[in-house]
């Protein structure tokens, strides 16, 4: 996050709260282009958000205020500065439902306490869909007011261009387009006068004081009920056993029945169709982020998605013929290439550690540590006299600066990140250290951390020095 953006958020915090800023914590980026930073004051702590997409901001802020008025557990919007594309919201902490599931489950066994949390989450989903829908201004929805035919075609083409084509799955494009039209016509037969959360998955549910809290509904719109339940239960990396999916589907229908009488068979018929389109949308995202943007951790979800897709295809019972679509999906399931995508042959976490210069900048996708707070050896007269001595800088950093106190804190953060990554079977972790020139402080820190990780963990470490590599190349 740029210094000016961070300062703007701190200023907004101090103006809103009257509290004195103490420190910040940068939240690692996810699949979103929004940037989050935790602001901790002497008395209060909040989440600051920066996003240049004003329409998306407006949707999230407006929806949050509406849902809050309905008593739904969403963050309160505390302060907004539209001119700077920033706002403050409640801080729900760091525990995602996804993390809780990964930490508490034992293989396919879900303890009763976890099932209870999932049922609480589904109970709130029904409230979003029914109570949250009442009085919601869908003209603010982003990017469309309803999950209509155009929205569906966007998702299906996303799957076609970023997954099928990039994974080299053969298909007849004309026949597939014709099936898309028939498929969307069938989906649109489902009742759709409800709020569709759009990205209702376990990474968008936070646990605070043991209760679910909800974020990232800015893509919500009017739509059919089954889509959101499909998003939760068929999230590839969450990896729900089928028995748990069946139990939670039954619970969802029970909760829905508290509001109105449900045609259970009709719901289930459309339910698996919405499971399918949601999975295709998700695989499109895996393809875009993984194949196109080269972010390997998105590829790790593909083997899970293939397994789920095989299961879903067994449940499909459409009253329409979708021969080319089903054939393409079967070819996806049978693809030898896709079965190995994102899988590390040695099942080891790959850790990339890189030093860089802030003068040149980078486009990080992971943890970034700023070494400019450490004293620079270039400012020491002994550096000019001894810079050819390779022992000078290590001794300087160890004995005469706060470098090792800084690195001790970095190690604590990275220990947590590596443990989590290994538990969640994530196989790529990116770590960056920057300083002004990228040749001394950041190089020392990156080398120290690479050695620390290499000695402590059974992982594959790749160390790269951007500026030193450029000098060698020249």
The whole-number pLDDT of residue 421 equals 84
Q: What is the per-residue pLDDT across 77-108, written as a single tens digit (0 to 9) for each?
A: 999 999 999 999 999 999 999 989 988 887 77
How is residue 355 written in tokens?
Answer: 């030093």
Any idea what the Cα angle at residue 128 is, between residues 125 and 134, rounded to 5°? 155
The beta-strand segments (E) located in 322-459 are 350-357, 367-370, 428-435
pTM tops 0.75, yes or no: no
State which H helix or E strand residue 181 sits in.
helix 173-187
Q: What is the per-residue pLDDT across 337-382, written as a single tens digit (0 to 9) for each?
A: 998 786 555 567 899 999 999 988 777 788 999 999 988 877 555 5
Residues of the chain with pLDDT below 50 are 385-389, 472-474
> Which domains occur in the chain, in start order?
3-89 (3.30.200), 97-340 (3.90.1200.10), 350-473 (no CATH)
Residue positions counted in the chain: 474
What number of helices (H) and strands (E) belong to the chain? Answer: 18, 13
Rounded-to-integer distance, Cα 209 and Cα 285, Å? 32
The whole-number pLDDT of residue 365 equals 80
Q: Are 144 and 151 in contact (CB under 8 A)?
A: yes
DSSP-assigned beta bridge partners for residue 223: 194
Helix-helix angle 112-130:226-233, to 10 degrees: 150
How is residue 211 written in tokens?
Answer: 């209760």
Rounded-to-integer distance, Cα 4 and Cα 311, Å? 49
Please, where are the H alpha helices in 374-402? 381-386, 392-400
Rounded-to-integer distance, Cα 395 and Cα 278, Å? 56
């Amino acid at each position: 996050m740029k210094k000016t953006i961070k300062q703007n958020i701190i200023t907004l915090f101090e103006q809103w709260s009257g509290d004195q800023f103490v420190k910040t914590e940068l939240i690692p980026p996810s699949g979103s282009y929004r940037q989050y930073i935790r602001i901790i004051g002497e008395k209060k702590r909040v989440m600051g958000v920066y996003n240049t997409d004003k329409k998306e901001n407006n949707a999230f802020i407006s929806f949050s205020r509406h849902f809050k008025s309905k008593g739904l557990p969403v963050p309160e919007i505390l302060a907004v500065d539209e001119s700077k594309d920033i706002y403050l919201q409640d801080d729900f902490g760091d525990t995602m439902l996804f993390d809780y599931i990964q930490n508490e489950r034992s293989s396919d066994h879900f303890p009763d306490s976890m099932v209870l949390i999932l049922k609480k989450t589904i109970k709130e989903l029904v409230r979003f869909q029914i109570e949250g829908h009442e009085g919601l201004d869908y003209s603010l929805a982003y990017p469309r007011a309803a999950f209509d035919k155009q929205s569906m075609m966007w998702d299906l083409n996303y799957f076609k261009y970023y997954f099928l084509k990039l994974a080299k799955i053969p298909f007849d494009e004309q026949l597939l387009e014709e099936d898309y039209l028939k498929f969307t016509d069938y989906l649109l037969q489902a009742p759709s006068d409800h709020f569709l959360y759009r990205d209702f998955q376990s990474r968008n549910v936070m646990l605070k004081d043991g209760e679910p809290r909800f974020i990232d509904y800015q893509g919500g719109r009017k739509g059919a009920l089954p889509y959101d339940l499909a998003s939760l239960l068929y999230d590839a990396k969450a990896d729900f056993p089928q028995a748990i999916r069946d139990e939670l589907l039954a619970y969802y229908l029970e909760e829905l029945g508290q509001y109105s009488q449900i045609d259970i068979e009709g719901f289930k018929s459309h339910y698996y169709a919405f499971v399918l389109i949601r999975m295709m949308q998700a695989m499109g995202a895996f393809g875009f982020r993984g194949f196109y943007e080269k972010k390997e951790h998105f590829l790790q979800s593909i083997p899970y998605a293939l397994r789920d897709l095989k299961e879903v295809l067994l449940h499909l019972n459409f009253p329409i013929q979708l021969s080319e679509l089903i054939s393409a999906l079967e070819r996806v399931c049978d693809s030898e290439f896709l079965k190995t995508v994102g899988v590390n042959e040695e099942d080891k976490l790959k850790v990339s550690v890189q030093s860089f210069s802030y003068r040149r900048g980078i486009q990080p996708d992971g943890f970034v540590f700023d070494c400019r707070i450490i004293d620079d050896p270039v400012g020491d007269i002994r550096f000019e006299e001894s810079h050819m001595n390779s022992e000078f800088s290590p001794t300087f950093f160890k004995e005469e600066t706060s470098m090792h106190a800084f690195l001790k804190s970095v190690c604590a953060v990275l220990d947590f990140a590596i443990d989590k990554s290994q538990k969640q079977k994530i196989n790529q972790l990116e770590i960056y250290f920057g300083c002004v020139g990228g040749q001394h402080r950041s190089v020392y820190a990156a080398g120290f951390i690479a050695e620390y990780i290499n000695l402590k963990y059974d992982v594959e470490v790749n160390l790269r020095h951007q500026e030193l590599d450029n000098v060698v190349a020249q």
